[in-house]
Amino acid sequence: MEAAAFLDRFPEFETTAEAQLTAVLVEAAAAIDTEIFGGRYDDAHGLLTAHLLWTSPFGVSLRMEGDPSPPEKSRYFQEFAKIRREVTPRAIVT
Instruction: State residue 53's pLDDT score.
Output: 92
Q: Is residue 74 part of a domain?
A: yes
The answer to whether residue 51 sits within a structural domain is: yes
92 within some domain: no
Q: Is residue 65 part of a domain?
A: yes
Under 8 Å between Cβ of 58 and 21:
no
Q: pLDDT (tens digit, 9 = 90+) per residue, 37-70?
A: 999 999 999 999 999 998 887 665 455 555 555 5
User: Is pLDDT at 91 greater than 90 in this prediction?
Assistant: no
> Is residue 40 assigned to a domain?
yes
Query: Is residue 83 domain-resident?
Result: yes
pLDDT for position 90: 72
The whole domain housing 63 covers 3-87
pTM summary value = 0.81
Domains in the chain, number? 1
- Are the C-beta atoms of 29 and 75 separated by less than 8 Å? no
